[in-house]
Amino acid sequence: MNKPKIGIINATGYTGVELARLLCRHPGVELTSVTGRSSAGKKLGEVFPHLADLELTIETGLSEVDLAFSAMPHKESAGEVIPLIKQETRVVDISADFRLKDAAGYPAWYDFSHPAPELLKQAVYGLPELHRKEIAGAQLVANPGCYPTGAILALAPAVKAGIIEPEIIIDSKTGLSGAGRSLSLGTHYAEANEDSSAYALGGHRHLAEIIQELSRLRPEPAPAITFVPHLVPMTRGILTTGYASLAAGGIPIDRKGTEELLQLYRDFYRDEPFVRVVAVPPHTKHTWGANICFIHPTIDLRTGRLVVVSALDNLVKGAAGQAIQNMNLMLGLAEKTGLEAPAVYP
């Protein structure tokens, strides 16, 4: 039986090359086509020596495949995806171009008008822990952002159970790879080393999908979310801490309540292969290279607030690994296929 043929649009960015790394040993599919404008004509292993076993030449356009990953930047990805959808090729889009259900969100958050708003209804938000059944039958899956993956997974059980007030604060810290492979002043070594900074205080564009997905879990009262991202001097990882006051009449604000909260989270994620609810705060290093999200929920007994911490690798569960998790579901493969390797430590 022939394996499905897989292609990667823009395999030379950090997410694209991470896709290639994970797909090169995937037993259920065959990576047959990769593109990259700046390195077209070169062997993939010439540009990335750790992928020398992949006998692939970087092309300017995608060959015929059964499923394509688009790792293009937002605004540019839609132009690659739309023709593939018309050809009835299945697509996992790793950009933000199909994540929002409301087309009006794109001028507001991404500074462009969506070229195919009719596809926004068709696209499935690719967080398997919330939308597994829809993903399995989808032609177009919008892979979540790295920040939203950590934030939504951290808060989904509490929001759905209605145990917190709608005012939520999310604090996230990420490594430099989240900024992509293109050069910029803020990610130069001398600028970022021994430094930490907050940015997008007026509203990071990933906030739109965080609000969208948490609102779908509990529309009323609508969540009022403050999200502040931070850049820290490491290569990979996102550490997210969410805060919200516990709702009156719900979980008791005592040690018994802390135990109830932990059990609520464990029940919510009981059958999830890539979420681990842990009894101690996780580290980003615990996730390096693995398609895993660690979550630690607790209660600040002084203030009556939920405090929940999540950790993931922004290039794996936050991008390429989750995209392959979605691919597995779309192709009818076991969800964990090709993603079972543990994290690299230390």
Residues recognised as catalytic: 146
- Find out whether 81 and 97 touch, Cβ atoms under 8 Å: yes
Q: What is the rounded CA–CA span in Å between residue 191 and residue 232?
A: 11
Contact 38, 46 (CB under 8 A): no
**Rounded-to-integer distance, Cα 316 and Cα 324, Å:** 9
What are the CA-CA distances from residue 221 to residues 123, 156, 163, 299, 346 (Å)?
A: 26, 15, 12, 22, 43
Q: Kindly give, in sequence order, each residue whose CB lies less than 8 Å from that of residue 114, ignoring residues fewer than 6 positions away.
A: 78, 97, 103, 106, 120
User: By C-alpha distance, which of 77, 145, 66, 81 is closest to 333?
Assistant: 66
Ordered strands of the 30-35 beta sheet: 58-59, 30-35, 5-9, 67-70, 90-93, 140-142, 124-125
**Where do we find the tokens 């405090």?**
307
